[in-house]
């Protein structure tokens, strides 16, 4: 009995310490992985782009992570393409203010857009729907796997939602919601602060999509031109991204998608996208 009593601490005491240590390390690793999985990574960037931490702006660089509840702010020449762990991407265009995953209880609440324009590409998971939500002060946009634009037009947070691919459901964020408006490719809707949801509009002839694509292409061209300007030492491409111009919404990023550094003069920013035609 005494021999067994002496051996027990060696077997269980030390082993218990190892077990406790392993559990702690496992919990820490799991928490770190969860934090990493919840973050978004900057894969293309140009001009003035920052995040607000404790109400102070911190400049973003290629490869940086944006954590949940951080606010992304772009200047007049600012643009960023970010990717989350499931491969989905979102673009933040100039003069925008966006909160990333503001709801800590549900990472599927992807973005909250307060100002400017974003373009979002939600990737399906194994061919299955990938449910996400994007919010503005006036609209709640539910998606499964699609490509769409969200633009805040004015101080009243009038929201324009335009679908390129897939399908989205739009509800009013302030008024009694009722049935959502379902938008298919080539359809858009404008959501006003103090008005019920209007009927969706078909973008006949692709006028609105063409205008928004032209505005986006102007931004991509600025990124490309900035990244191609030689430095004083004769080098080019200070940013070092990959992909092709016009493909910034894809996981590959923009061609030469850099930060426009190297002491070069940044080309004049493109004009904001034209407002869509009046809805019905």
Q: What is the pLDDT of residues 136-184, one digit of tens each?
A: 999 999 998 899 999 999 999 999 999 999 999 999 999 987 899 999 9
Between the ranges 4-18, 27-41, 235-249, where is the mean pLDDT highest? 27-41
Q: Is 100 exposed, middle or buried (0-12, 13-18, 19+ CB in 10 A)?
A: buried
Q: Residue 227 has what pLDDT? A: 66
Q: Between residues 269 and 106, which one has the greater pLDDT?
A: 106
Report phi then psi at 39, rounded to 5: -80, 165
CB 110: neighbour CB atoms within 10 A?
Answer: 25
Mean pLDDT, rounded, for 109-135: 95
Supply 260's token pair. Answer: 């426009």
Secondary-structure class of domain 40-206 per CATH:
mainly beta
Among 41-50, 91-100, 197-206, 223-232, which is the least confidently predicted range? 223-232
Position 235 pLDDT exceeds 50: no
Q: Residue 122 has what pLDDT? A: 96
Q: What is the pTM of this model?
A: 0.71
Q: Residue 181 has what pLDDT? A: 96
Q: Between residues 263 and 273, which one has the greater pLDDT?
A: 273
Report phi then psi at 22, rounded to 5: -65, -40
Distance (Å, whole) CA 139 – CA 14: 58
Among 60-64, 75-79, 98-102, 231-235, which is the least confidently predicted range? 231-235
DSSP single-letter state for residue 117: E
Among 109-118, 185-194, 233-242, which is the least confidently predicted range? 233-242
Among 6-10, 33-37, 123-127, 151-155, which is the least confidently predicted range? 6-10
Q: Is 205 exposed, middle or buried (0-12, 13-18, 19+ CB in 10 A)?
A: exposed
Q: Residue 119 has what pLDDT? A: 98
Distance (Å, whole) CA 241 – CA 254: 6
Q: Residue 280 has what pLDDT? A: 46
Report the chain's C-alpha Rg in angstroms: 23
> So where are the chain's domains?
1-38, 40-206
State which H helix or E strand residue 147 sits in: strand 147-152
Q: Residue 278 has what pLDDT? A: 54
């Amino acid at each position: 009995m005494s021999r067994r009593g002496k051996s027990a601490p060696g077997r269980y005491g030390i082993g218990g310490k190892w077990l406790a240590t392993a559990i702690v390390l496992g919990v820490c690793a799991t928490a770190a992985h969860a934090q990493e999985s919840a973050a978004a990574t900057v894969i293309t960037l140009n001009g003035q782009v920052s995040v607000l931490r404790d109400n102070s702006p911190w400049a973003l660089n290629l490869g940086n992570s944006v954590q949940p509840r951080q606010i992304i702010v772009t200047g007049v020449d600012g643009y960023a393409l970010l990717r989350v762990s499931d491969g989905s991407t979102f673009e933040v265009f100039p003069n925008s203010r966006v909160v990333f995953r503001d709801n800590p209880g549900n990472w599927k609440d992807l973005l909250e857009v307060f100002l400017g324009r974003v373009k979002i590409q939600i990737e399906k998971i194994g061919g299955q729907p990938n449910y996400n939500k994007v919010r503005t002060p006036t609209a709640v946009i539910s998606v499964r796997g699609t490509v769409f634009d969200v633009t805040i037009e004015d101080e009243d947070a009038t929201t324009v939602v335009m679908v390129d691919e897939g399908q989205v459901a739009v509800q009013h964020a302030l008024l009694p919601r009722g049935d959502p408006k379902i938008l298919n490719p080539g359809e858009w809707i404008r959501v006003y602060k103090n008005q019920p949801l209007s009927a969706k509009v078909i973008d006949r002839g692709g006028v609105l999509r063409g205008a928004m694509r032209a505005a986006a292409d102007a931004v991509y061209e600025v990124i490309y031109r900035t990244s191609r300007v030689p430095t004083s030492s004769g080098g080019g491409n200070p940013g070092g991204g990959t992909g092709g111009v016009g493909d910034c919404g894809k996981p590959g990023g923009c061609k030469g998608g850099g930060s426009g550094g190297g002491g070069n003069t940044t080309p004049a920013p493109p004009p904001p996208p034209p407002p869509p035609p009046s809805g019905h």
